Amino acid sequence: PAGGWPGCFPPARLACGRPDMRRSRHILVAPGILPGPWLAGRYIEGMAPPAPAPSKAPMMKLQLDGLTTNYEPHGPEGAPWLVLSHSLACSSAMWAPQIAALKGEYRILAYDTRGHGGTEAPPGPYTLEQLADDLHALLGALGVERPHYCGLSMGGMIGQTYALRHPGGCAA
């Protein structure tokens, strides 16, 4: 859409170069991304995802190692944890469709990375190691152990860095 995707800064117009893919509602996506027709609209011109419902979970903040971090918990207490980490220039709001679909089965932690959304933006540059350490501090403060992890783009790189720095720290 003209104003950008929910939870992201206005992007450049993206389109698939293959005419046969422009009509498809199913495309291959990177590992860790939950595919579906709404996601296809992010990559195929002329197909927009439905507007996400406003979050009913309160935005919460924690002071972690001098950084105020914004996060939202969703889903039933005691359910397996699922961490959702957004892409560059987005916020946790981008996960609204997945949260709506999965909050009955998982305890979801959607958070804003350093310099994004409601999390503070101290002077940079930021490293992937620093962003993975921010995630580790957040999980520790909330008492979350071995969550499932899903990250898109930058969020996926944070997850890979987290896994290297904290082997066994994620269930999947």
Tokens representing residue 115 in the block:
């310099």
Cβ neighbour number for residue 7 with a 10 Å cutoff: 20
**Nearby residues of 84 by Cβ (< 8 Å), 6 or more positions away:** 92, 95, 98, 99, 108, 109, 110, 111, 150, 151, 155
Cβ neighbour number for residue 165 with a 10 Å cutoff: 14
pLDDT at residue number 59: 81
Name the pTM for this structure.
0.70
pLDDT at residue number 24: 34
pLDDT over 80 (residue 158) = yes
pLDDT over 50 (residue 11) = no
Q: Give the range among 44-58, 77-91, 126-140, 142-156 with minimum mean pLDDT.
A: 44-58
d(CA 5, CA 147): 27
pLDDT at residue number 58: 67
Q: Where are the beta strands (DSSP E) in the chain?
A: 60-64, 67-74, 81-85, 107-111, 148-151
Tokens representing residue 26 in the block:
């199913």
pLDDT at residue number 81: 98
d(CA 26, CA 136): 34
End-to-end CA distance of the chain: 33
One-letter amino acid at 69 equals: T
d(CA 23, CA 25): 7
Residue whose C-alpha is closest to residue 139's, from 95, 55, 81: 81
pLDDT over 70 (residue 57) = no
pLDDT top residue among 69 and 26:
69
Q: Summarize pLDDT for 105-144 with one digit per residue, the tens.
A: 999 999 999 999 999 999 989 999 999 999 999 999 999 9
Q: Summarize pLDDT for 82-114 with one digit per residue, the tens.
A: 999 999 999 999 999 999 999 999 999 999 999
Q: Which residue has the tokens 């804003």?
A: 112
DSSP structural state of residue 6: T
When computed from its CA atoms, the radius of gyration of the chain, rounded to whole angstroms, is 16
